[in-house]
Structure 1
């Protein structure tokens, strides 16, 4: 008979597999973000993670309760080393495949993602079989699973900074082999196979490190070897020589910036300002004629935006850059090629700009952001990285508060006259933010400039001709002489002044957006969603309303617009696939038996618990992603946000799972459900107070406070799974594996649902949807518990007997 506590080897094996899975999920998100656009990346992740569901179904006919100890451990060990071998094989295939095109098809993305599916099937089977052995082990094993996954969240950041690129996937392979080795019976071939695979993964890691990370690298569409090819937890950076144009810095798939050649003086001193440093429509702010002593640059990139303030004799320039690799390139590796940072006026700050500016203690004369966005995917889930805290009412409230009395906030975005949603939304955002600052007549405080179509040759030239639109916003009204200077700058640089005080806007919609009385009507009548984003719905680049989604079918757009709209198309497709997967798993589970000889009352309990596990699968992922959507703005760094949410919630959930049976020994699901619903209601009520976290000066204290809050939420949510398993396990020997599959399928579908609700309604509604899911779970679980107690009372009852089966299931018995 199994003991009341799981064997230590089994707990360690579960921890290794769970840690490997979480590392794999984070690492392969980075990998797919480089191979495909970020929205394809999330499609691929969801496809791969469906392997966990398939693994649960595949193991559903193994009667692991009746297996001998040696047979059981042999089965787990085999699954462990199969997971490891599949990871190594998948990595080898991915490295051998040719580079994907600029716009890969969904079929190509799916085929490349399916390479990783077998390993996840093995991992899902391992965990499902581990949990099904003995219901009294569930709390401890589930805690091991979650705590190991939480530790992997923190380890993933360090690994992606130390281990270059695709080689990170060797670590999940090593952990999976360790799981096979730990669980292997003494003197078995499984132990030999696991040890060999662990050795292969370890040797490959060491060899790749010795080669500077270049031994295992992705195929490139270019024949020229990049000057730099480096990865971290945020992106892959490649630097290629562009000749006289400078050095092009490519971020992940195709986002790019340029580093100009700015050598030091002949005597080794800092470079002196050159006339060309002032050129560019995005730098019109320096022609207004106001003081520019103290300047903040958002998104330094290759350093081009640092040059104009220096040319206009700024006394101090703070350059905020989120990506540490770009900071290192400017400060160390390419400082001889571009010596801008050697100027004493320049300070590079490795921090997200909104958070950094808010806590800088400075008042800036100019805050500038030029074409700041990224298509880098740094999160698993659904499309959460289309969030951007730079382009929200709350963000602009911060920026305006950090301007000096005559300071100017200036931002530049693509200006596409045939699809001007981005520029119009920027104007609506500026006018609304000024209104939030108590300024009623916004026309006097805004200027809008565009470069002419023919003047700016951008990469997107297949169907659209794009220019740049630059907006200047100040709390102090622009004087007529300042407008005259900007008009002169426009005449000199072949630009167009679209709107300015005392000048009629070139397009009536711009005029209406700047007028408080007509702004709402202009926003509502636009064919695009140009409403100012907020921190609760920070999707500036998503210029679609929910009602527009069905209109996308069969439509074609220019390449710039297509990037965003393709993301919505993929979300729709992913939602359909996830829904079909979930419905299929639920129907398969409901129409089949949980065991070979299940009583009719047990069958009723099993079906109510199917709804229970479906609901908690949806509920947990909705809470997790809803909090991530909100906190990514507050934390600033997207990878830190992901890690703090995952680590804190998983750690808290693990502790809650381990405590559930003791805390709710008598009250069961009903008592735990009341605690969960109470915690979620409190979370919803506290949502408006989340900006208080932003006021905490110290980043460590801010992250610690957020982590404590998340850990508390996770602790309460952790009660649901082990109590549910304890209720459903007696209904049959296959029940646990099937509930594992249902829970996993619901999590995949829930990630898409969280994305859709977040995009259309905002993060508070994601948490509200989670509350509804857990309410359904409490009702279903309470009914199941009552039926289970009734079934335990004496009385005659019929047994539903499954047909006899041959093969692995019968042999395992």
Structure 2
């Protein structure tokens, strides 16, 4: 049986990880990223509540001969519930999506809970070999981090769900094989082929697809859904990957433009180009062309070129060298697929486009540019497998400093957005950099323009902020003003020449806090437009503090943990001290592990150069390392508590060291090839993961000696605290920065060391002195 169990755990763990990532991808198309975080986090609580279900099953069914049957049933029901949950999500009237996050999260909560019950039941039953079980669990999850990259690319988010359901059905067959009745293996086989066949049927015929949320819910509506309400709009191509879903939309009344949406958000435009300058001459009337009023044959860097309008305008403006950095892999295949329409602009002479994170590329490149475009790069992405939604490092104060350093003396940064409030935040960010004590102030280095309002219906490129490395000369400002008038573009602010509301409220110089307070005094609902840092990279989040939904979720999880702990203590059979110890033990591991994991993903994103690479490499290294550590811990028969103490202390010290020196390590290797940076990342993470993989299985093996029936409840507490750690990471990251997130995680492991030390000195482990 143990061999079957190890294989089944591997398959189920792999599948659940892929299911989680697929859910994040599906919800990321449907909703804004804060909503995605809330719903997925609540759904993930199901893994913890699965421990309670497991405890109930064990209490109701105490026949040892039923163990295999129970495990088989849990695995099979997981296989069935996963595709059913996604079908229900896709068929739920989407006007009701915002009626309650709890209501919509209950649908995916069910399969997570059943899967959690499977893990908990198995761990409680075979706790004596917990090191091997946990090894199989973590290696399966680590493999899922890699496998999902290919599944989403091949099948898309919805079909990947059916694929993993087939994998879990295969796991159920392991327990059905050699069963006394033929019904079990037949059911498993039917489920396997049904799900596997449906992958290809739905792939070709689209029985189930992402529905559209009505624009009557403005808080939830994505621009893609608003566009879809136009009778002339049609989605002509869709591509999925682990980064996002990307759609190409065309409008019958706009034959020369196609719109590319990433996760349904603000689109980038792809224009018709037949290779002749005449075919794109109309782009001279856009805000993109403004920088070419003064610069001759400039070298251009486009961060996030998308459909290529930045590149086309640069060609039109006579640029001598054009470099693009695009983070979405699907954009490249889309540009190749529609090369007949866009003139194969990504491969145009003098043009070179890289697949990379824009900020990471800028930090590594030694080139300097005359123009750096940041056009509609404002989109948040769901970081798969963590439930954490982040925005990257494109718009932080540190990033804008890097961009300015990569400009030639007369160079300029061109920031283009659809959102006026983000324009103000970008302005405030540049102001904080340029308005230093040793300079004359930031205002002489910035200009603001706006597309004509009548163009708002057809273009997302509305507001433009141009920031220079040095003060703009009077002659240069006059040229920009004349160019704007010629192109029909509104001039909002040119220092010393034009100052329209709200910039008419300022004189020649203004400090950051005066700017921010003045802008907010003019708004009906004040927002947070202060600059953000690399440690708190929430540029799109304009709220003050933490959204109330996050606080409610955090409090709800803690209440559930307290209730579970209360039940365990009530049934501790006179061992309340050691029971309380194990409650704290597994709670600290759950929260601490997630706090550290989320920090590492965030931190390595810039170093590795792509969010998808960061998630995959960090999670795989951490989970694989922990799995190996768990496997090795199974070989230890004596002094487990002492080994847990050592591993907890080492973990805390390692990450305090990383907090102090990781940035310096990155600076040393940042300019190396991506493969070497991946290797360095694995070397930094895997050994730490090895140490972190020791406490959990060792704790289960120890508690097995005392009170086996509490294992399911301790699994519940650990699972809930893992979600709590994820939410807490976002709360701390938003309010104090991700460095504080890591410090909190490290301190929790050091606290684990102290409670183990205390318990050992109090001789609480008396059943076996070897502990």
Under a length normalisation based on structure 2, what TM-score does the superposition of the two structures give? Answer: 0.88
Separation of aligned partners in 1, 2:337 and 2:371? 27
SS in 2 for 1:724: helix
Query: Which residue is 2:224 aligned to?
Result: none
Aligned to 1:352: 357
In structure 2, relative to structure 1, the CA distance for the partners of 1:251 and 1:66 (3 Å cut) is closer
In 2: Cα distance, 1:22 partner to 1:367 partner: 38
Aligned to 1:336: 341
Cα distance in 1 for partners of 2:692, 2:192 equals 35
Q: 1:656 to 1:743 in 2, by over 3 A?
A: same
Q: How far does residue 435 in structure 1 lie from its aligned partner after superposition? A: 6.4
Which residue number in structure 1 is paired with residue 415 of structure 2? 411
Task: Report the counterpart of residue 579 of structure 1 in structure 2.
Answer: 558
For the pair 1:304 / 2:309, whether they are aligned, the reply is yes
Aligned twin of 2:398 = 394
Distance 1:659 1:341, change over 3 A: closer
Aligned residue for 1:543, secondary structure, equals coil
- Asked if the contact 1:255/1:375 (under 8 Å) is kept, the reply is no
Helix, strand or coil: the match of 1:723? helix
* Separation (CA, whole Å) in 2 of partners of 1:194 and 1:69: 23
Aligned match of 1:440: 439
Q: 1:299 to 1:765 in 2, by over 3 A?
A: same
1:404: how far off?
A: 2.5
Determine if the alignment matches structure 1 residue 482 to structure 2 residue 486: no
- For residue 738 of structure 2, what is the aligned residue in structure 1? 763
Query: What displacement does 1:456 show?
Result: 4.3
Structure 1 residues 792, 340: CA separation in 2 closer, same or farther (over 3 Å shift)? closer
Cα distance, 1:538 vs structure 2: 1.2
Q: Structure 1: where are the runs of 5+ without partners?
A: 1-5, 461-465, 550-567, 795-813
Does the C-alpha gap of structure 1 residues 684 and 293 become closer, same or farther in structure 2, counting only changes over 3 Å? closer
Tell me the distance in 2 between the aligned counterparts of 1:342 and 1:718: 47
> CA deviation digits over 1:239-294, x for unaligned, max 9?
222134322223323432222233x2xxxx5554543111223432222x123432
CA distance in 2, matches of 1:250, 1:360: 28
> Aligned in 2, Cα 1:569/1:721: closer, same or farther, shift over 3 Å?
same
CA distance in 2, matches of 1:580, 1:220: 36
Q: Name the counterpart of 2:164.
A: 172
CA distance in 1, matches of 2:234, 2:716: 45
- Distance (whole Å) between structure 1 residues aligned to residue 46 and residue 305 of structure 2: 40
Deviation at 1:755, TM superposition (A): 0.2
Residue in structure 2 matched with residue 558 of structure 1 by the alignment: none
**Structure 2 partner of 1:655:** 628
Deviation digits for residues 502-551 of structure 1, max 9, x if unmatched? Answer: 447556879879958x33565578654333222111111223343xx5xx
User: What SS does structure 2 have at the residue aligned with 1:258?
Assistant: strand
Q: 1:793 to 1:151 in 2, by over 3 A?
A: closer
Residues in 2 aligned to 1:352 and 1:439: alpha-carbon distance in whole angstroms: 32
Structure 2: which 5+ residue stretches go unaligned?
214-227, 521-525
Q: Helix, strand or coil for the counterpart of 1:536? A: coil
Q: Distance in 2 between matches of 1:477 and 1:620?
A: 48
Task: Identify the match of residue 283 of structure 2 among 277, 280, 284.
Answer: 277
Where do 1:530-549 residues align within 5 Å? 530-546=529-545
Which of the numbers 22, 42, 48 marks the counterpart of 1:47? 42
Deviation at 1:117, TM superposition (A): 2.6
1:88 equivalent to 2:83? Answer yes
Q: Distance in 1 between matches of 2:242 and 2:656?
A: 34
Counterpart contact for 1:143–1:654, Cα < 8 Å: yes
Question: Helix, strand or coil for the counterpart of 1:365?
Answer: strand
- Pairing 1:7-156 to 2, within 5 Å after superposition: 7-63=2-58, 70-98=65-93, 100-101=94-95, 104-107=97-100, 109-156=101-148
Instruction: State the Cα distance separating 1:753 from its structure 2 match.
Output: 0.7
Q: What do the CA deviations read for 1:97-153 (whole angstroms, capped 9, x no partner)? A: 45x35x94142x544432223222221111111111233211111111001100110
The 1:384–1:515 alpha-carbon spacing in structure 2 relative to 1, beyond 3 Å, is farther
State which drifts further: 758-767 or 532-541: 532-541
Aligned partners of 2:507 and 2:749: how far apart in 1? 42
Cα distance, 1:331–1:117 mapped onto 2, change above 3 Å: same
Say if 1:446 and 1:471, in contact at 8 Å, map to a contact too. Answer: no
Taking a change above 3 Å as real, the CA distance of residues 253 and 580 of structure 1, as seen in their structure-2 partners, is farther
User: Which residue matches 2:221?
Assistant: none
- Aligned partners of 1:506, 1:691: CA distance in 2, in Å? 44
Which digits, 9 at most, give the CA deviation of each residue in 1:286-309, with x for residues without a partner?
22x123432111212222222221
* Worse-matched range after superposition: 247-256 or 363-372: 247-256
Q: Could you tell me how far apart the structure 2 residues matched to 1:668 and 1:573 are?
A: 37
For residue 325 of structure 1, report the CA deviation from its aligned partner. 1.9
Match of 2:671 in 1: 696
- The 2-side partners of 1:74 and 1:536 are apart by 50
Classify the secondary structure of the residue corresponding to 1:391. coil
Q: CA 1:132–1:513 in structure 2 vs 1: closer, same or farther (change >3 Å)?
A: farther
Residue 198 of structure 1 corresponds to which residue in structure 2?
Answer: 192
Deviation at 1:660, TM superposition (A): 2.9
Give the drift of 1:786: 4.8
Structure 1: how far apart are the matches of 2:597 and 2:23? Answer: 20
Shift of 1:10: 0.9
Residue 614 (structure 1) aligned to one of 553, 573, 587: 587
SS in 2 for 1:347: strand
How far apart in 2 are the matches of 1:750 and 1:370?
Answer: 35
Aligned counterparts of 1:524 and 1:226: Cα–Cα separation in 2: 43
Query: CA-to-partner distance for each residue in 1:145-200, whole Å, 9 max, x for gaps?
Result: 00110011011111111112300002321221122112335134333322221121
Task: Choose the corresponding residue for 2:319, options 314, 318, 335.
Answer: 314
- Tell me the secondary structure at the aligned position of residue 730 of structure 1: coil
> Do 1:295 and 1:318's aligned partners in 2 also have CA atoms closer than 8 Å?
yes
Pairwise CA distance, 1:766: 0.2
Asked if the contact 1:586–1:742 (Cα under 8 Å) also holds between the matched residues in 2, the reply is: yes
Q: Which moved more, 1:503-512 or 1:372-381?
A: 503-512
Which residue of the other structure, out of 230, 240, 248, is the alignment partner of 1:239? 248
Deviates more, 1:291-300 or 1:492-501: 492-501
- The residue number in structure 2 matching 1:811 is none
- Displacement after TM superposition at 1:28 (Å): 0.9
SS in 1 for 2:235: coil
Q: For residues 573-600 of structure 1, what are the alpha-carbon distances to aligned partners after superposition, in whole Å with 9 as ceiling and x for unaligned?
A: 4334333333333333333x25xxx4x2
Alignment CA distance shift 1:714-1:431 (3 Å)? same
Is the counterpart of residue 673 in structure 1 residue 672 in structure 2? no
Inter-partner Cα distance in structure 2 for 1:451 and 1:432: 22
Provide the C-alpha distance between the structure 1 equivalents of 2:757 and 2:633, rounded to a whole number of angstroms.
16
Counterpart-to-counterpart distance in 2, 1:510 and 1:583: 55
Show the counterpart of 1:326: 331
Q: Supply the distance in 2 between the matched residues of 1:354 and 1:681 (Cα, whole angstroms).
A: 26
Equivalent residue for 1:294, pick from 299, 309, 325:
299
CA contact (8 A) 2:359 2:393 kept: yes
1:311 and 1:671, CA in 2 relative to 1: closer, same or farther beyond 3 A?
A: closer
C-alpha displacement at 1:473, in angstroms? 2.2
